[in-house]
Each structure stands twice: as structure tokens, then as C-alpha cells.
Amino acid sequence: MKRSLHNLKGLILLAVSVLILITLNACNDDEEGNSNAFLWSPKILVLKGDAQATLLLTDPRPFTEYVSPPTTPDYFEIFVSEDNISFSPLTKVGTDVTQVPVDKLTNGKSYYFFVTAARQGITSALTDTVMTIPSRAFATESYFPDVNESVETLTTSFDRNYISYNAGSDLYYRESGSASGQYVATNANGATWSKNSNQLAYITTTTSGISRYPHELRLLTTAGGQSTTLFSIDYPNFSLQYPEFTGNADELTFFSNENNPDKSYYDLWKMDVITLQRQRITSFQSKGFYTGGRYDWSHNAEEVYLAGRYNIQKYESDIYKVNISSAAITPIVVSPQWFESNPAISPDNNRIAFTSDGSGRGELWVYDVAKSRTVQVTPIEGYLFDERYTELQWLNDHEILITAFKNTKSVPVKITLD
């Protein structure tokens, strides 16, 4: 899913700069007689459909602060590309248009869009580029439909006999067939199940003044429902994020900046939950590599898939594979301008689910490793996916568990890919 910057857009930007300079020096014909006028351009979002897509255009002015009021364009012009390099005009629409259907697309093919705004022959600054991959609708069904709470980050144990979920600020776990959940802790996050036992690791947080910070890494054993502290987190000397079990028995990993002089670098640490011995297993600071978000282990526990970037000034992250033995960092899903995060590998190691805002908002995507092909999974009919309130989990090689909003309530949803 590698995507390059497009030449046409660069040429348009150059032309825009020249025209703006000429306009500012030679004319004074904007709506209010101000030679420093500029045009506003819409915020754009593209929704995936079956052999079609819909562009949503939103007026950003009510939600944006400007030094001086922007001028309204005469019209918008939409450009389209199939390779993110060669763009061509698709259509022109009035500034009152909010939805633009795009039909006769090919399922499985990538389409890229951006919009310009024009007035009296002068083109404004461009919008961001968004992309979509049309496809048929995927089969969906409720998972644990008798969970009545609005739940976040719901995941299941390895044998599917238990689930854990956050309802508000509280963490619960629940046995299959049980009528209610068992309370675990308040202000707990990062809950993750062992890959070979019914144990749940999670992080508790505590408050100091108006700040909340990680407090303890804890382990719950469903047999008996007992929770124990693995270790206390010496914040602010170091912080800890995203516990995750490897495929090795009793081995837990997490991100920590302990012992790193530059606290913006987080490394992976592993811990034996029996002996409580901890060991750092990466050295990302030596490579200038910054990590963020959830990650997932290959099923031989030799490689980890994570989101990261080499430039801390770059907000957007990409998906990488890290070999623990060789320390090699291999790019998997890389884009020039979008934010990819939260990778999860399928049990057969053939597909990687992840979130990306390439469409203009966070959606669920799946990358096929063998075919070097990406499928866009969401939007799904009847649900609103929000990557901030979910965790991706493969139930098997063909089914993914997420949480999504239905009628303003966050519910667990199983999606069948094929």
C-alpha cells in the first residue's frame, strides 16, 4: 500500500503560489476590498461503497479560527487519480454541494481525490488528498449481543470463554453464558488476554492534581478472579503503555521509556509473569525510531508489528515489522501523508488489520502480505467506526472483532472478510 506524492498536485501548488502573488500585487477586487483575501476550501471525506464512492464536502469556517475572514469561492473542482500520481479533473460543483457521488468504479482498486476552490479564475490552496478502495459490503453480526452496556475495547480470551471490556472508566471481564460482568478496576486501560491461558493483564492509573498517569501493571487470573500487582510504575521517572502477551507461555511485553535519557523514545520490554524478571528487548533510540499505539506479535513471537515513524516532527505513523533477534525494522504499510496505526496480525500471519485516516477519518483496513494488496473494511452499514474507541482482534483467519457505534451505543461487532 505504498503511495507516492502526485506531480500534478505539486504543479498546481506552484501555480497557486505564483497566481496568489500576482493577485495580491495587482488587484484589489475581493468581496471586502482587501488585497490579502484568500479562498476557503472544504474539508473532504470519502465513503467507500460497492463499485462507487461518495465525497463529503464540509464548510470548515464555523470550526476554524482565521486571522481575517476567508472569501467564498465560485465553485469547487474535484480531481481523481488511480495511482496518486496522475490526477485529472472529475467534476465541478457549487460551494453549496455537500455530497458528490462517484459511480462506475472498480472494486478492489484504489482511488485518490482532492479538491480545489476557484474564484474569478484564481485557484485556492488545495485540500488534503483522500483515498478509498471500493468493495462489496462485508458480513457483520453482533458479538456477545446480550452485553447491555456501551462498551469500549472489547476483546476475548484465547479459548473465547471470556471477554473483557471497558464500560465508562471501569474494566470488567465476563464468562461466556454469564448474565453479568465481573468488576476488575476503575480507571484501568490496556487490557490484554494471554494467548494460552485465561489471564488478563492491564494497567491501572492514578490522579495527581489534574493529571492522570499509569500506576501499576496488574494480572488477573479468571480462576478465582484474583488480581495481583506485577510491578508499580515509577512515574514520572518512566511510563508504561500497551501490555501485550507474546505466544510464549507466561511472557508479557509492554512499551516503556525506562532508562531512556530521551523520554520520547519507548522501547519494548518483556517480563516473565512468574519470576517478574524484566528485560528491554529493543533499542529504538539508537535508530531514531519513535513508536506509538497498539502492536501485535507474530505467532512465532520472533517479530512484532507496530506503528512508528523516524521523524518526531512527523505526526503521521506507518506500519513496520521489527525482528527482535536482528533488530531489523521493515516498512510494511507506508503512506506519505496518512496516519496508520494499531496493527493486528491474522493467526496464519497472512493479513494485517490496521487503522488509517486515508479516507479523511479513521477506518479499518486489511493488508494482504502475500498479495501486497489492501482492502478497506469500514464503513459498514448501520455502524459508525471510531478508531479511538476500539481494539482490533482476529477471531480466526477470516473474522475480525471490533467495537463500533450503533444508535450512539458502542457495541461489539464481528466482521467476516471472506
Q: Which residues of the chain have pLDDT under 50?
A: 2-8, 11-36
* pLDDT at residue 179, rounded to an integer: 81
Q: Are 125 and 98 in contact (CB under 8 A)?
A: no
* pLDDT at residue 9, rounded to an integer: 52
Backbone angles phi, psi at 63, to 5 degrees: -115, 10
SS3 (DSSP) at 11: helix
Q: How many Å apart are CA 374 and CA 352, to the nearest integer?
A: 9
* pLDDT at residue 121, rounded to an integer: 65
Q: How many Å apart are CA 192 and CA 348, to the nearest integer?
A: 20
* pLDDT at residue 176, rounded to an integer: 85
Q: Are 305 and 318 in contact (CB under 8 A)?
A: no
Grid coordinates representing 110?
A: 484504489
Q: Are 38 and 61 in contact (CB under 8 A)?
A: no
Element spanning 15, H or E: helix 7-26
Does this model's pTM top 0.85?
Answer: yes
Q: How far from 220 is each of 185, 200, 228, 240, 295, CA to CA, in Å?
A: 10, 5, 7, 18, 21
* pLDDT at residue 120, rounded to an integer: 80
Q: Are 105 and 53 in contact (CB under 8 A)?
A: yes
* pLDDT at residue 257, rounded to an integer: 96
Q: How many Å apart are CA 144 and CA 128, to the nearest integer?
A: 39
